[in-house]
Amino acid sequence: MKFEVISQDRDSVARCGVLYTNHGAIPTPVFMPVGTVGSVKGVLHKELKEDIEATIILGNTYHLFLRPGMEVMRAAGGLHRFCSWDRPILTDSGGFQVFSLADNRKISAEGCSFQSHIDGSKHLFTPENVVDTQRIIGADIMMALDECPPGDATHQYALKSLHLTQQWLERGVARFRQTEPLYGHSQAFFPIVQGCVYPDLRRQAAEYAVALDCQGYAIGGLSVGEPTEQMYEMIEVVHPVLPLDKPRYLMGVGTPWNLLEAIARGIDMFDCVMPTRNGRNGMLFTANGVINIRNQKWATAFEPIDPEGSSWLDATYSKAYLRHLFVASEMLGPQIASQHNLAFYLWLMKQAREQIAAGTFASWKTKMVKKLQTRL
């Protein structure tokens, strides 16, 4: 994997670049649609490629480990072949999913034991077997196993958690360097910078991760209940520590305005379930603000979903028609809304790249954030 910075904004640390993998080049900043179990919910690969123009998607180690399982995944030749996706894939280590199983998991120095949310079966994730599992999945970019503390964790708990994450990270890096890809394409390994909302811990975590000299760095444990301003502050804390020639991935974030604010603070990569999850529930993101498509006010709104035209959907379907589909409980409604939101997120990233290249990102971002947050 290779990362190249192409342009830098004049009035912020925003930058655009290209991340090169064996499965294709990824222009950054980039939003990565979440395909947890090997599918972006309700969206065909053809639509992801041709209409939404996704250059990379996510899979999740926890969910794929449980089903279809690694025996099937290995026999299929990895996730790319299993789900017929020939572009890059990134996998989360499953640490966040295990964290969410608060009543059904136990964390120790060895790793994390947990019960499956599907059938209650017991399993153990260690820094080593999570690397092995991601080798079998065949992701282009793999994540280290970490513990994700809650947003309101005390400094004492966050410090203890960070020490454990760092111990796991050293073991994960060692395993990654001792093993080889299984399917003929290269794989990269990203540490995850934790530290909750404490600047000293975030700085320590970033320095520790950078010392291991990996191909890129993820920032985890944000957007888990802490105030938004603290999330931005933590990005600013680690910015001067993380190397400028490596990609930076902010995990699980967020709204369109969160993305623009994070780009202004030097972030290159994002993922979040929000576009599809909120779309399935009738919330649409547009260049002029947020729409609840179920509202009566859209019943006779025959104009396009988004006048800015962030995707072909906006010129095809009206707000009134989409509202009708939701009110009638027609499955096409959530599908269109999910596709629209994904297309909008990727359109927004393209606009951001163009503004960075022109050196006008900072002023454009200020105007866009205000528009994006408007409730229509």
Catalytic residue positions?
A: 92, 271
With beta carbons less than 8 A apart as the criterion, state whether 349 and 259 touch: yes
Determine the Cα–Cα distance for residues 184 and 187; give it in Å rounded to an integer.
Answer: 10
Alpha helices per DSSP H over the chain: 45-46, 61-66, 70-76, 79-83, 95-99, 127-137, 155-178, 199-211, 228-238, 256-263, 274-280, 312-316, 319-327, 332-358, 361-372
3 state SS of 125: strand
The pair phi, psi for residue 266, each rounded to 5°, is 100, 10
User: Phi first, then psi: what are they for 208, rounded to 5°?
Assistant: -65, -45
C-alpha distances in angstroms, 307 versus 143, 257, 287? 38, 19, 8
Q: What are phi and psi of 217, to 5 degrees?
A: -140, 135
73 and 137 Cβ atoms separated by less than 8 Å? yes
In angstroms, the Cα distances linking 276 to 11, 43, 334, 340 are: 33, 9, 8, 9
Tell me whether residue 120 is exposed, middle or buried, using C-beta atoms within 10 angstroms of its C-beta: 0 to 12, 13 to 18, 19 or more.
exposed
